[in-house]
Amino acid sequence: MDASVAGKRLLGLPVRVRGIQLGRPVDLLLDPKRGRVLGFDVLCGDERHRFLPFSTATLADGELLVTSALVLVAEEDAGFYRKRAVRLSSLRGLPVEQGERPLGRLHDLVLEPEGSVSALVVDSEESRLEAPCARGLQLGGGILRC
């Protein structure tokens, strides 16, 4: 990625190696302590879920490119990542606060090219807003702080 991107935009993009589609991401896996994406839960063509480390994929022309199918980690071998991770799908709808002030509920994340979370997209009663990660911004009572 060359610019920041919404997490939701990455879901459903084809994962390809040399033009061959391997699967599509169905969820993002985040390291809540570091406020960054670890990788993708990819549903592959054989209907199996595999873990794709964020650092091994390149976003280009509406697809995620990988250099080899071997970068996709089998579900049974992805325990290390899964123990440290929380799914974006499980975070959606959780309350977002700036200090003590409630802002609304999480809709999405904004990610920087290296995978760090730079903002939370929040649905409030009045509108949808993008809250930059600063000044005590937290999600779900401290599940994710940025």
- In this structure, are residues 86 and 139 in contact, taking their beta carbons and an 8 Å threshold? no
Q: Residue 48 pLDDT more than 90?
A: yes
Q: Residue 3 pLDDT more than 90?
A: no
Average pLDDT of the chain is 92
% the chain with pLDDT above 90: 79
Query: What is the average pLDDT across 106-116?
Result: 95
Query: Is it true that domain 90-145 has CATH number 3.30.70?
Result: no
Strands 128-132 and 63-65: unpaired
Which band of pLDDT confidence, cut at 50, 70 and 90, is reported for residue 76?
confident
**Domain spans of the chain?**
7-88, 90-145
pLDDT at 1: 61
Q: Residue 30 pLDDT more than 70?
A: yes
Instruction: Classify 7-88 by CATH class.
Output: alpha beta
pLDDT at 88: 96
pLDDT at 145: 85
